[in-house]
Amino acid sequence: MREHDPLQDFFRAGDVPARDPGFRLAVMADVARRRFRRELAERLGQGLVVCLLVLIMAPVAGDVLETLFRGGESRFALLTLPLALGVALIGHFWLNGRLRVRLPNLR
- Which amino acid is located at 24 in the chain? R
User: Residue 97 Cβ, how far from other proteins at the closest point, in Å?
Assistant: 11
Torsion of CA 48, 53, 58, 60, to 10 degrees: 180
Query: Does 4 engage in binding with other proteins (CB under 8 A)?
Result: yes
| Binding mask of the shown chain, residues 34 to 73, with x at each position contacting other proteins by CB under 8 A | x---------------------------------------
Q: How many other CB atoms sit within 10 Å of the CB of residue 32?
A: 14
- φ, ψ of residue 20 to 5 degrees: the values are -150, 85
Identify the three-state secondary structure at position 3: coil
> In sequence order, which residues have a C-beta less than 8 Å from that of residue 27 and are 6 or more positions away?
none
> Which CB, 27 or 57, lies closer to other proteins?
27
Alpha-carbon gap, residue 102 to 97, rounded angstroms: 11
User: Residue 90 Cβ, how far from other proteins at the closest point, in Å?
Assistant: 23
- Identify which range of 51-59, 71-79, 85-93, 99-107 contacts other proteins by CB under 8 A: 99-107
User: Residue 8 Cβ, how far from other proteins at the closest point, in Å?
Assistant: 8
- Identify which range of 2-10, 43-51, 74-82, 83-91 contacts other proteins by CB under 8 A: 2-10
